[in-house]
Structure 1
Amino acid sequence: MEWITLLAGFVGTIVGAGASFAGTWWTQRQADTAAREQHARMQTHAAIETTVNAVLALRHHGRAFPTINNSGGSGNTEEHAWAERLPALLDGIDLATMQIRDRELRERLTEIIGFSARYEYFVSLTPNIFTPGTFHRSSTVGPLAEHAIACLGARLRDEPLPEPSATLLSVRATEQELMSEGHL
């Protein structure tokens, strides 16, 4: 009879220790998962904040586009200086965007950066298509940056991305037109 009591005590101890170990393991696993999720949220938030700052600089740059004089536009040194600074701003946004985990947001921002960067290429291929005021950096870079800010803000609020802006749709259509006509 003593063996049964001893065996029951031993089995109870093993079962209790196993349950205690499983409970501790489960709690630690949940805590590790929560910590990883919190770290990912913090990284995403930091990446979005960095991108917002870079896009705000782009928006400011877009608004600071120099007034084009009527004596040759492209020879304008202020416009040239403005254009020289644009790639650095776009590179900053591109680097910041790479850190964003949200694929849909990352792709939208990459599209905006690409259109802003390809503007000069569009104009050089087909200067007759672009009449002053129809597709110009002063009317595209700023509004594209505004749309990027709206997208970033939506994600910070855990909302879906806004519909593409009129400027983004217009630039998409222009690129499609250039492609269909064999210019790109």
Structure 2
Amino acid sequence: MDWLIAAAQQTSTSTSPVWLAPLLGGVGALLGGSLTSTVAWRVLSDTKKARTRAEEKVATETITAALLEVRQTYRKGEVGTGPAPDEFEHWPDYLLSKLGAAEVAVMAFSSEDLRKRLTSSLDLLLWGAHDSQLLYETRLGSSRVVAYAAHHDALACLGANLRGEPLPDAAERWTNADHQMRWQDEQVRRAEEGE
């Protein structure tokens, strides 16, 4: 510490002002700190994006597996007609047992539009595909047609998200079924609220 005091008391033989060295040191510290903060922020940002992508990939795998399992159910026969499989009393209960994990996995996606599309497709599989009023109003005819439209839309949206592409346009069958199901849900809500 004594050497520092002695150095400060010596007269400078340099022509630069005494305040220049501390100023340059301060500027250097400011630039160094800014650069360090920027790099740290960038690393944290990249880490967060990587974690989000990893979570979305796991969610995609979960939803895809559930969709493929339910597709087999729809291929075997008309869903909603006849007794529900296994120990289930109603078809929606059976389908919910297969698609429940997929419904939860939808929440992992950062895109609100993707979450809405996937939720609508899953709702069509759970409730709409075997709803006789929806099938009649949309003239789609069978639960398989609605289920196929829901499966196709969900898988197309998941694939686009994995590739970093915008969501594809929904097919007309999917759009008609989704609008009809929403309309029916709104009518039920109004009836329950006494409107």
TMscore range, shorter length:
0.7 to 0.9
Q: Unaligned regions of 5+ residues in structure 1, if any?
A: none
- Residues 27, 164 of structure 1: alpha-carbon distance in 2 compared, 3 angstrom cutoff: same
* 2:95 counterpart of 1:86: yes
Aligned twin of 2:113: 104
- Residues 130, 78 of structure 1: alpha-carbon distance in 2 compared, 3 angstrom cutoff: farther
Aligned twin of 1:58: 66
The aligned amino acid for 2:77 is T
Equivalent residues of 1:59, 1:141 under 8 A apart: no
TM-score (norm 2): 0.69
* 2:157 counterpart of 1:151: yes
CA distance in 1, matches of 2:64, 2:13: 77
Q: CA RMSD in A?
A: 3.7
- Residues 73, 12 of structure 1: alpha-carbon distance in 2 compared, 3 angstrom cutoff: same
Deviation at 1:77, TM superposition (A): 3.4
- The correspondence for 2:42, drawn from 11, 34, 39, is 34
The aligned amino acid for 1:107 is K
Aligned twin of 1:49: 57
The superposition leaves residues 108-161 of structure 1 with CA deviations (integer Å, 9 ceiling, x where unpaired) of 2222233333337844xx49948997241x333343233222112212222211
The aligned amino acid for 1:64 is Q
Deviation at 1:177, TM superposition (A): 5.2
TM-score (norm 1): 0.72
Equivalent residues of 2:153, 2:171 under 8 A apart: yes
CA distance in 2, matches of 1:115, 1:150: 16
Deviation at 1:42, TM superposition (A): 1.3
Aligned twin of 1:134: 141
- Residues 155, 133 of structure 1: alpha-carbon distance in 2 compared, 3 angstrom cutoff: closer
Equivalent residues of 1:143, 1:167 under 8 A apart: yes
Equivalent residues of 1:68, 1:79 under 8 A apart: no
Q: Which has the higher contact order (CA 8 A, sep 6+)?
A: 1
The aligned amino acid for 1:119 is G
CA distance in 1, matches of 2:138, 2:44: 52
Aligned residues with identical type, % of pairs = 17
